[in-house]
Amino acid sequence: MGLLDIFKKIEPDKKKSPILHTLYDALYTMAYTPDTVTKGGVHIRDGMDLKRTMIHVVIALQLCFLFGTYNIGHQHFVAMGQHLGFLEGFHLKLAHGLIKLLPLFIVANAVGLGIEIYFASKKGHAVEEGFLVSGALIPLIMPPDLPLWMLVVSIIFAVVIGKEIFGGTGMNIWNVALLSRVFVFFAYPTEISGDQVWVSGFESLKAGAAVDYSWWHTGFFNTLFEWMDIAKFNVSSVVADGFSGATPMALAYEGGWENVTAHFSEAQMWWGTIPGSIGETCKPFILIGALILIATGIASWRIMLGMIIGCALTGMAMNAWGANPFMEVPWIYHFYMGSFFFAMAFMATDPVTATSTNTGKWIYGFFIGMIGLIIRVFNPAYPEGWMLAILFLNTFAPMIDHFVLESNIKKRLARA
């Protein structure tokens, strides 16, 4: 008996068990394309449904997941002054990263997809697969030590208030993943700002503060590592003297580019071996993901290039003005320090919340790049601006498309 036959045999009754049938339908269409296709000889028959479109984005994120997992562990050991070489203590760093990231990923997807399945069963529709991408993005844009209950509350807010009340996937005005992060930022600001939140495994980053290991460290992995006769997690380790956990953004605000380079090299910032959100630090891997999305036609290169132009021109203008140390940071290094490329590749290009017209995409991307950098440089409470800039432009995306279309109509009428 083939897998398809098994799926057909176990299909629940849609009327008697709507939630079970909705869950079954989600799993079935994950494995196989839908039974229904576009009818008619003049139409295109295409197996690229919404679920497969979303899966392309998840695939493009995999390098960010791999690097982010390992970098969680790397930053943890750097804080203690141990295994300072990036590949030193490889098994310990990878294990610590998995302990921190897997709960975030599992909880995010369980809560988000649970809400999606519930609303789909109530509406009698198939599961709207939009959360496949949101469930992958949300863990990557959060701090590694974020309490799971805060993650749950933020996802409920983002999915219910940000999407379902508008009608579900395709109807939402704002990017769901960013709504989750902005909820945490404004509701629990100490959990997503400051220096301490980006380095995991400690109650505090003060010199001499002890590690905060769980049973997974001291029980599961230490038992495994002891059996393999390799280094184990040391429960007596403490934070090293002089370690702060500050990100390049915080350092730039305090003392400009010289203060940043006193703590991190350009190579560290480019390759991502720095504190920050889990998936946003490694620029080469993010750009590989961006190229995958462009090559597959999932994301708009116009939005990406528009953002680069907007950020670069704004940075040049700030360099010319130079009213404070942060404004004097060479414009090219604004691409190195924070989450610009991640926001450009995976957030701004969301096809639901971005502009649809080609001209509108240039305008939309340009203003995200410009406004995001203005927020980054001039806002002392939040020295990173892409989240707020993208949500702001999400709001105005329909208006931008409206004026672009009106302009095109007027030009055509004039020619007629």
CA–CA separation, 154 and 136 (whole Å):
15
Please give the share of the chain, as a percent, with pLDDT higher than 90: 61
Query: In angstroms, what CA-CA distances link 207 with 169, 239, 279, 323?
Result: 47, 5, 27, 35
pLDDT of residue 233: 96
Give the lowest-confidence range in 170-179, 219-228, 293-302, 385-394: 170-179
pLDDT tier at 165, thresholds 50, 70, 90: confident
16-30, 71-85, 242-256: lowest mean pLDDT where? 16-30
Per-residue model confidence as pLDDT tens digits over 82-137: 999 999 999 999 999 999 999 999 999 999 988 888 887 777 766 666 678 889 99
What integer best gives the mean pLDDT of the chain? 87
Confidence grade of residue 299 (pLDDT, cut at 50, 70, 90): very high
pLDDT class of 44 with cuts at 50, 70, 90: very low
Q: What is the mean pLDDT of residues 279-299?
A: 94
Q: What is the pLDDT of residue 87?
A: 94
Q: CA 398, CA 50: separation in Å to the nearest integer?
A: 22
Taken in order 17, 18, 19, 24, the sign of the CA dihedral is positive
Q: Each residue of 301-355: pLDDT tens digit? A: 999 999 999 999 999 999 999 888 889 999 999 999 889 999 999 999 998 899 9
pLDDT band of 265, cuts 50, 70, 90: very high
Q: Where are the alpha helices (DSSP H) in 61-130?
A: 62-79, 90-123
Confidence of residue 50 (pLDDT cuts 50, 70, 90): low
pLDDT exceeds 60 at position 38: no
- pLDDT, residue 192, reads 80
Average pLDDT, stretch 389-399?
Answer: 95
pLDDT of 51 > 70? The answer is no
Is 70 exceeded by the pLDDT of residue 33? no
Check residue 41 and give its pLDDT. Answer: 47
Percent of the chain with pLDDT over 70: 85
**Sequence spans of domains, the chain:** 10-33+49-245
* pLDDT, position 330: 93
Q: What is the C-alpha to C-alpha distance for residues 164 and 172, in angstroms, rounded to an integer? A: 8
Mean pLDDT, residues 379-384: 71
Residues 6+ apart with CB under 8 A from 292: 56, 59, 60
Query: For residue 28, is pLDDT > 80?
Result: no
Which amino acid belongs to residue 255?
G
Burial of 112 (0-12, 13-18, 19+ CB in 10 A): buried
- What are phi and psi for residue 202, nearest 5 degrees? -140, 145
pLDDT for 380 equals 66
Does the structure show a pLDDT above 90 at 4? no
The pLDDT assigned to 195 comes to 73
Task: Report yes or no: 364 and 354 within 8 Å, Cβ to Cβ.
Answer: yes
pLDDT over threshold 60, residue 156: yes
Please determine, for residue 35, whether its predicted confidence score (pLDDT) is greater than 60: no
Q: Which residue has the tokens 């529709």?
A: 125
354 token code pair: 């971005």
Helix (H) / strand (E) element for 2: namely none
Tokens of 139: 């863990």
| pLDDT given at position 42 | 45
The predicted-structure confidence for 189-242, as pLDDT tens digits, reads as follows 877 877 788 999 998 889 999 999 999 999 999 999 999 999 999 999 999 998
One-letter amino acid for residue 386 of the chain: W
- The lowest-confidence range among 20-24, 137-141, 271-275 is 20-24
CB 162, CB 168: distance < 8 Å:
no
In contact, 253 and 383? CB cutoff 8 Å: yes
